Amino acid sequence: MNENIGKRSPGSAINTWYFPGVILFLAAVLIGMLTYQDYGIAWDEPEQRDLGVMSYDYVTKGDTAINANIDKRLGTGFELPLVFVERSLHLSDMRDVYLSRHFATHLFFLIAAFCMYVLAYRMFGSKQLASLAFIMLAFHPRLYAHSFFNSKDIPFLSAFLIALLFCQVAFQKNKLLWYVLAGFACAYATSIRSMGILLVPSAGMFFLFDLITIKEKKGTVVVNFFSFTASFCVMLYICWPYLWISPFHNFADAFASLAGIFWPGKVLFQGAFYSGDKLPASYMPVWFGITVPEIWLAAGLAGIVWVLADFAKHPARYLRNTSDRNFGLYIACFSLPVIAMIALHGVNIDDWRHLYFIYPPFVMLALFTINKLAKGKLKWIIIPLCSLQVVLIGVFMVRDHPHQQVYFNNLVSHKPEFLRKNYDLEYWGCSYKQALEHLMQQYPGTISIARDYVPLTNNIMMLQDRDRKRITITDHGADFMLTDFRLHPEDYPYPQEYSIKVLNSTIMCVYKMK
């Protein structure tokens, strides 16, 4: 790293470089505290919690039931702590359980967003750019909503980002302790998803470059490398109970399973249904392109081109221990998982959520472009454009709360029902919560609802106990039918009782059947 980046003036007691980040973090926490009860339970949440509970029972009681679970290879680095929190608070009502999970998941995401601020400041030395980095991550509409109910993809994104920060600090300070901490951070990310192992060869390349380029103290580089690797292995073993019986075999099994996941369901993409294991190569790039705010998207793509062109001109600068080589790492962290997913035909359903962790590196590349333009003649246009983008995102997030997960930018049509007929919208089923609450408010006494699928039963748990008892689910003669239109984007032949629209497309509808 560049030794001047992030340096504090000598003799100053408490520096103010982090103060805007602290203010942003506290403001975001306050907003989260006021709104976290608004989000419903996502499709996979009960399964994720079950995985954490079985891991908890294995750790505390030696119960091996998890070995028979189909998802036993999935990392529990985040699910296990969630269960420890649940048990320590003695939560028994399922509504309280899931509310605690939502707030904890969101808080971890905001901590990662603050780390985004710190990383950006260390790389650019600008509080303004660092503040923008926080906003670009924490208030990306889809990621923001997912940060409450998605305890798989968002915690991995968060841990991955924190690991990137620790690696940056370690190579900049070049101290043994920081390499150990970086190993711990990389291991924790890997304990959530085995894809985190990609951080190890990335750091290994930096160690190799240092070994080649420095003229003395090569032994120190070797010691630091082995300290990083050892701390990684130890922490990974501690955080992932699945590895306790056979560490190497079980980790290889978990990593190999990434390319062998079979999901037989269907997804709606550009107006056609595709099997989950036969998606077109354009699936992820298109989803990414239409769900990242336009200015951030343009700046990030320009940053990739800019960095690659700069590397072609000055390759040595990207090999030595300078700040520049980190941008090469960000390009690798953004592009290689996408290439691997497409080449290996990995399952990447439900927009690009399995690859959400590539967004923080993309933000850093976008900031690279914004930083360059803000220092040049285009300063007069780049700052207003970024400000306008922030305002537009804010308007959407307030107007369509709490359904920010259905955000699309203006590169795709927002004509009435266009999005519903062409893309999966509310595939997590969280909006069932609002539909059920509407029925509870409008109709006293017992009501019957047509048997649906998982999101309906999930979100009944989010109601107050007295309201849960008022609902009966039946196959015949129901009063109402709820739908989020997944796998059936067409309307149903019943009168509409209630609906939720986002960007002119209906994402939830209650039909009155009697």
Which has more pLDDT, 3 or 234?
Answer: 234
Sign of CA dihedral 312, 207, 333, 123: negative
Distances (CA, A) of 206 to 3, 103, 135, 411: 16, 36, 29, 38
- State the Rg of the chain over Cα: 24
Q: How far is CA 283 from the centre of its chain?
A: 18
Q: How far apart are CA 59 and CA 50, in angstroms?
A: 14
Q: pLDDT-based confidence at 9, cuts 50/70/90?
A: very low
pLDDT of residue 2: 38
Domain ranges of the chain: 14-151, 153-259, 263-412, 422-512
Tens of pLDDT, residue by residue over 167-222, are 999 999 999 999 999 999 999 999 999 999 999 999 999 999 999 888 888 899 99
Cα–chain-centroid distance for residue 502?
21
pLDDT in tens, 40-68: 999 999 999 999 999 999 999 999 888 88
Residue of 514 and 94 predicted with greater confidence: 94
Confidence of residue 384 (pLDDT cuts 50, 70, 90): very high
Determine the pLDDT at residue 380: 86
State yes or no: pLDDT of 281 exceeds 70. yes
CA pair distance 186, 190, nearest whole angstrom: 6
Q: What is the DSSP string of 204-234?
A: HHHHHHHHHH-SS-HHHHHHHHHHHHHHHHH
pLDDT value, residue 238: 96
The DSSP 8-state label assigned to residue 345 in this structure reads T
Burial of 260 (0-12, 13-18, 19+ CB in 10 A): exposed
Residue 261: the pLDDT is: 63
CB hemisphere CA count around 510 (13 angstroms): 24
Q: What's at 465, amino acid-wise? A: D
- The stretch 409-414 carries a mean pLDDT of 98
Residues contacting residue 27 through CB under 8 Å, at least 6 positions apart: none
Query: Residue 360 pLDDT > 80, yes or no?
Result: yes
Burial class (CB in 10 A: 0-12, 13-18, 19+), 141: buried
pLDDT digits (tens, 9 = 90+) for 157-173: 999 999 999 999 999 99
Q: What is the mean pLDDT of residues 488-495?
A: 95
Return the H-helix or E-strand segment holding 338: helix 324-343
**pLDDT 10s digits, 453-467:** 899 999 999 999 999
Q: What is the pLDDT of residue 16?
A: 82
From CA 470, how far away is CA 447, in angstroms rounded?
6
Asked whether the predicted pLDDT for residue 260 surpasses 60, the reply is no
Nearest to 229 by CA among 262, 263, 190: 190
Helix, strand, or coil here: 375? Answer: coil
Measure Cα distances from 202 to 66, 198, 199 in Å.
32, 6, 5
The pLDDT of residue 319: 80
Q: Is the per-residue pLDDT at 431 higher than 60?
A: yes
pLDDT digits (tens, 9 = 90+) for 132-144: 999 999 999 999 9
* pLDDT: which is higher, 514 or 247: 247
Do 480 and 503 contact (CB within 8 A), yes or no?
A: no
Q: What is the DSSP string of 87-98?
A: HHTT--SHHHHH
Residue 253 pLDDT class (50, 70, 90 cuts): confident
pLDDT at residue number 378:
84
Percentage of the chain exceeding pLDDT 90: 79
pLDDT score of 7 more than 50: no
> Which candidate, 293, 505, 269, places its Cα nearest to that of 397?
293
- Per-residue b/e over 10-19, b at no fewer than 16 CB within 10 Å? eeeeeeebbe
- Strands 272-275, 471-474: pairing is unpaired
Q: What span, in angstroms and rounded, lies between the C-alpha atoms of 35 and 29?
A: 10
**pLDDT-based confidence at 259, cuts 50/70/90?**
low
pLDDT, mean over the chain: 92
pLDDT at res. 340: 83
Positive or negative, the CA dihedral 407, 393, 482, 356 is: positive
> What residue has token string 């699945």?
242
Quote the CA–CA distance of 409 and 407 in Å, as a whole number: 7
With a pLDDT cut of 70, the percent of the chain lying above it is: 95
Give the pLDDT of residue 65. 87
The pLDDT score that the predictor gives to residue 390 is: 98
Q: Tokens at residue 231, please? A: 């701390």
DSSP class per residue in 144-186: HHHHHH-TTHHHHHHHHHHHHHHHHHHHHHT-HHHHHHHHHHH
Structure tokens at 241: 């109970």
